[in-house]
Structure 1
Amino acid sequence: MRSTTPKYRFRACLAVAALGLAALTACSTTDSTTTSDGLTKVKLQLQWFKQGQFAGYLAAVDQGFYKEQGLDVEILDGGTDIVPQTVLAQGQADYAIAWVPKALASREAGAGITDVAQIFQRSGTKQVSFKNAGISGPGDLRGKKVGNWGYGNEFELFAGMTKAGIDPAKDVKLVQQQFDMNAFLAHDIDAAQAMSYNEYAQLLEVENPATGKLYTADDFATIDWNDQGVAMLQDAIWANTSKLKDTKYADQTVKFIAASLKGWAFCRDNVDKCRDITVAAGSTLGASHQQWQITEINKLIWPSPNGIGMMDKAAWDRTVTIARSTKNQEGATVLTKDPDADAYSTEYVTKALDLLKSQGLDVNGGGYTAKPVTLVEGGK
């Protein structure tokens, strides 16, 4: 019979929640259990609903890669009201997927979390405009209606404008953008935020009223923050910092990373299959959209010259610099100080990569070439 101690511990944690995130983090726990066939139960918290952005983890479940490592992984949907790094810090999940700047902000506020595998090597954020708007770079945003989602998603945009000599608070009209492209299509926004793998595809799934056919890439201009030198690190696997001191959790972390990376390698080589896995998992948008999304996600991951999940120190330093120096609409920066040494670790991903390489898996994807995807109306 399982001990009832964790229940009382959870109640005690709730009692101290008012003391702040740091206190709650120190108090929290995830009570690992095992299945009847001896697998360790693990919870992974996503930062959004199940979609191609998370296909590697869905594939690792579907293809049995987690089971190969002795894990029974439950994938938890995210949403607008869910902060994955907080769920992790509070002990309600064993691992979480989160963008680095947002997670570092939570860490500075007291969340005991560590980036243990940096999955995305490149940023997927773009600023999109109609081509006839004449916006080809950040400097052209002056005097324009500029959409952004806020909530920590705007820092690449603000850094890009600042670098171009534009004061985001004075030289543009900032528009609070919803998580869709409706205001942009209605011309209420001149330049809108879009992820290469999601909102940008949604534009290409809409009929152009001028032609009666779907919009094409030729109808739009995009600003890619990777090209502007202000890209920030995004999706990473985060673990509980204090629990990493425990050998059992540390070993589990290596296994979890290894299976997850194997899932992403599978989706690199089997896009169609991963599309079907994602749709079957309950993705809101359909098959063509998910195929586009997985293909675009692959572009953010592959090639990984140092191995998938390995941290690029230059990209980390750039992310921290932007997070410390760029102000949001309220005049605040993401971070007030540099993160400490435990903010990220390559120890566990290195071991995971060694394991996968011993199995003959290509962990670099040097020969990866994306195949064209044909979108259909509504992403069906």
Structure 2
Amino acid sequence: MTLTFKPKLATVLSGLLAVMALSVTPAALAQTKIKMVLNWKYQGPQAWFFLAQDKGYFKAEGLDVEIDQGEGSSAPVAKIAAGAYNAGFGDMNALIDFAAKRPAEAPVAVYMIYNTPPFTIAVKKDSPIKTPKDFEGKNIGGPANDGALKLFPALAKAAKFDASKVTISNMAPNLREQMLVRGQVDGIFGYINTIWFSAKLVGLDPDKDLRFINYGNHGIDLYSNAILFSRGFVRDNPKAVQGFVKALNRAIKEVVANPEAGMDALMAREPLLKRDLEKERLMATIKEEMNHPEIARIGLGDIDTERMKRSIGVVVEANQLPRTPTVEEVFDRRYLPARADLISKF
């Protein structure tokens, strides 16, 4: 007699499901969606975000990251608070301002990138404006969301001039340098490297044609752009925040070691950009805006707590804000990689 064994359907299905489960990677099991807004249009200093996408570093952490172009370093704060984005790359001082006014809605920074103040006002080389005091009676222009414009009251207080005697004009970002050259404004707000390279794009030689009055030379030792997340997202998805920072930190280290890989990722998104100029912009940003001496001690990504306390105080006092946020309200270092994994020098 021949005996025939017929397994139950449930047993067969359960075996198939087990095999399928073993074949699925952790990233595929849990793709957490993150919608992120940049500080500006696609440029060289954003290359690491794109490399992290293209190399699968975000995906390896179980993340599906969508990245949109921005409208200025201050803008991501309000966009995240409004729920339009989970994350952004935006100005720390705009975050402090927002947290002082609407603490429950304010995003939180988790990874500091621009640790050296890049804020400046550029004037023509032959301008009579030589010091901040000379801004009085003049017309200074910039995009409404520009970080340097937002911090103008702090500069006025530190440099002891009357900001009420200065006319402020707003313009589209792509018109900033042209309006300065045409004499429609006497100076323009911006980040040093942003103005420098935008000026080159419109045919100026920044060395010969412009002078820069830098905030950092007048007592404004503030942090600048950081990775921001909404409080709700941090609360509900702490592993995703940690994974995002880990992937980005990995990508920054790779771009620093191999800038051409970063340029490949950037140009894949915006082929009309001038590759050589964007690489030059990237390298200048690393050197001038990410290279504060403190990184030798704490690493790129972290902050000096006492310095941040002072920064908060400067922003609160200059803008007469209703309250003083704590460091912990605006920066949460719990999601940083281990100290040994952070860049200590460039």
Residue 302 of structure 1 contacts residue 365 of structure 1 at CA under 8 Å; is this kept in 2? no
Cα deviations across residues 240-293 of structure 1 (Å, max 9, x unaligned)?
Answer: 3244344xx112211110111121222222223212321222277432332132
Asked if 1:302 corresponds to 2:288, the answer is no
SS in 2 for 1:251: helix
The aligned residue for residue 57 of structure 1 is 49
Residue 263 of structure 2 contacts residue 275 of structure 2 at CA under 8 Å; is this kept in 1? yes
The aligned residue for residue 119 of structure 1 is 113
The aligned residue for residue 5 of structure 2 is none
Give 1:288-367 correspondences, 5 Å limit.
288-299=276-287, 300-302=289-291, 304-305=295-296, 306-327=298-319, 333=320, 335-340=321-326, 341-349=328-336, 352-354=337-339, 357=340, 361=341, 363-366=342-345
TM-score (norm 1): 0.72
Residue 45 of structure 1 contacts residue 95 of structure 1 at CA under 8 Å; is this kept in 2? yes
Distance 1:344 1:169, change over 3 A: same
Residue 177 of structure 1 contacts residue 192 of structure 1 at CA under 8 Å; is this kept in 2? no
Asked if 1:287 corresponds to 2:275, the answer is yes
* Partner Cα distance (2:202, 2:271) in 1: 19
The aligned residue for residue 227 of structure 2 is 237
Residue 139 of structure 1 contacts residue 165 of structure 1 at CA under 8 Å; is this kept in 2? yes
* Partner Cα distance (1:164, 1:91) in 2: 37
Residue 233 of structure 1 contacts residue 319 of structure 1 at CA under 8 Å; is this kept in 2? yes
SS in 1 for 2:164: coil
Residue 27 of structure 2 contacts residue 63 of structure 2 at CA under 8 Å; is this kept in 1? no
Q: Percent identity?
A: 19
Distance 1:79 1:243, change over 3 A: closer
Distance 1:35 1:345, change over 3 A: closer
SS in 2 for 1:126: strand
Structure 1 unaligned runs (5+)?
1-33, 208-213, 328-332, 369-380
The aligned residue for residue 75 of structure 1 is 67
Distance 1:229 1:73, change over 3 A: same
* Partner Cα distance (2:114, 2:163) in 1: 27
The aligned residue for residue 8 of structure 1 is none
Q: Report the AA paired with residue 353 of structure 1.
A: A
Aligned residues: 311
* Partner Cα distance (2:271, 2:193) in 1: 14
Give 1:161 shift: 2.9
Residue 307 of structure 1 contacts residue 353 of structure 1 at CA under 8 Å; is this kept in 2? no
Give 1:16-35 correspondences, 5 Å limit.
none
* Partner Cα distance (2:315, 2:195) in 1: 24
The aligned residue for residue 129 of structure 2 is 135
Cα deviations across residues 143-179 of structure 1 (Å, max 9, x unaligned)?
Answer: 3332243446324333223333210112x34333442
Greater Cα shift, 59-68 or 87-96: 87-96
The aligned residue for residue 41 of structure 1 is 33
Structure 2 unaligned runs (5+)?
1-25
Give 1:37 shift: 6.4
Residue 158 of structure 2 contacts residue 219 of structure 2 at CA under 8 Å; is this kept in 1? no
Q: Report the AA paired with residue 72 of structure 1.
A: D
Asked if 1:221 corresponds to 2:211, the answer is yes
Q: Report the AA paired with residue 338 of structure 2.
A: L
Distance 1:251 1:52, change over 3 A: same
After superposition, the CA RMSD in angstroms is 2.8
Residue 51 of structure 2 contacts residue 251 of structure 2 at CA under 8 Å; is this kept in 1? yes
Give 1:100 shift: 1.5
Give 1:338 shift: 0.8
Residue 253 of structure 2 contacts residue 343 of structure 2 at CA under 8 Å; is this kept in 1? no
Larger Rg: 2
* Partner Cα distance (1:133, 1:121) in 2: 30
